[in-house]
Chains A and B, each alone.
Chain A
Amino acid sequence: MLGDIVQYLSDPFNQDRILGYLGEHLQLSLLPLVIGLAAAIPLGWLASRTRSLRLTLMGTANVVYTIPSLALFVVLPGLIGTQITAPINVILALSIYTAALLVRPVVDALDAVPGHVIAAATAMGYRPLRRFFAVELPLSVPVLAAGVRVASVSNISLVSVGALIGTGGLGALFTGGFQIRYLPPIIVGIALTLLLALVMDLLLVGLRRALTPWSRVGGAH
């Protein structure tokens, strides 16, 4: 079995294909992470200010998150008029999941910013918008980062389902391997997906550390 995998991996044609799939996989999982986060921050901010909006948003997010990915991938083209095999469907669906997953952490994180800190910033002359970006958002990074890490892993594993509609990054190795009843591409695909998730997770941990220098001093938070 190991010999089969080595043989499969040593073929330059296979190497090119795998690298291509890996790049596509990275793009299909990373882009939604950024878009979803960018959408969740203003939504979470709105939800943290208005009670009725909070309930509506949380409820919607919960329902959205229950929808199986394959279902969302194929329903979206009908709603927005794209081709069923277009990569945009996968990107949009995963962005929606990411936003749905992150709204709650954003709200929780903003809620957890101590009132006296906001009062101090206001007293120092920060206007609400600047205060949000300079004080409230940075302070919510630790909680937010936990949510982003979950979304990152979840996206990376979900992308491959897209292979069933023709855009799935490494998922193409699963459908391809299944069609010719050949295990090596499937094993390589699983291993690379796990590896990609691990590397992304480590990068996100590093990013969180860089963004929260105060937590390394200790005791301040």
Chain B
Amino acid sequence: MLQEILSWLTDPAHWSGPDGIPHRLLEHLGYTVVAALAAIAIGVPLGLFVGHTGRGGLALVGLTNGMRALPTLGLVTFLFLVLGSTQTSTLIALVVLAVPPVLAGTYAGVQDTPRGVVDAAQGMGMTGWQRLWRVEVPNATPLLLGGIRNAVLQLVATTTVAAFVGLGGLGRYVLDGLRVYAYPKVAAGALLVAALAVVLDLLLAGLQRVIVPRGLRLAAVTRRRGGVAREPERVGTDVVAGAVAREGANG
């Protein structure tokens, strides 16, 4: 079995042309990147606004929780039948699914800023904008980037599923292979998709390490070593925030 998958993957015929691995990979990556950028452009400002002002926080949490239950295949087929175009409908579906994790991550990140730090910033005479850019945004970076990571995973997964309505990308191998019971092709496609997801996640994890401000990393290490006592309630909210951040990534 493994032999057949390997020989499918190494067959030169599968490495060229519009149905070749490089082209399908680029298509997959293209949809993912475009939708991720759109989701960031929508989700980050909105999340910062809600987190900073505290207005609409409840509605936002409810909305993102509800969105998590939305079946991706249902959304993709629904939009396709309504709009009729594979590319437009899929891109809308991708953005719709990627905004909530970005939004939730940004909002949770801003909310996560310790109350005392926000008070201190106000006490020092910072304006609302200064507080946002110099205190809340840096503090939000870990959860914000975590939200983007989950959005990207969701996008890689949903782009695969969208092959069902005729989209290109690596999902083609899985669905085309299933149609003719060509298991090596199906498995090769699935492995390529999984590899793409893992590599993108690792790249973003690396980016997270580079971007997160040093002070926050030090604070996290101190906390882990038991420098600061963690009350049970605090652990509870951390898990929920983490869970929100890890929501339905494999859509």
Contact = CB atoms under 8 A, between A and B. Distances in A.
A174 B230 CA distance: 46
Contact of B174 (A70, A182, A187): A70
A92 B160 CA distance: 20
Contacts of A12: none
Interface residues of B, number: 55
Interface string B131-159: 00000000000000000000001001100
B92 to A, nearest CB: 15
A63 B149 CA distance: 13
A174 to B, nearest CB: 5
Interface residues of A, number: 59
Contact of A178 (B70, B164, B232, B247): B164
Interface in B58-84: 65-66, 68-75, 77-78, 80-82
B240 A146 contact: yes
A21 to B, nearest CB: 12
Chain A interface mostly helix, strand, loop or mixed? helix
Contacts of A197: 68-69
Contacts of B228: none
Contacts of A69: 157, 250-251
B34 to A, nearest CB: 18
Interface of A: 63, 65-72, 74-75, 77-78, 84, 97, 101, 104-105, 108-109, 111-112, 114, 142-143, 146-147, 150, 153-154, 156-161, 163-165, 168, 170-171, 173-175, 177-178, 181-183, 186-187, 189-190, 193-194, 197-198, 221
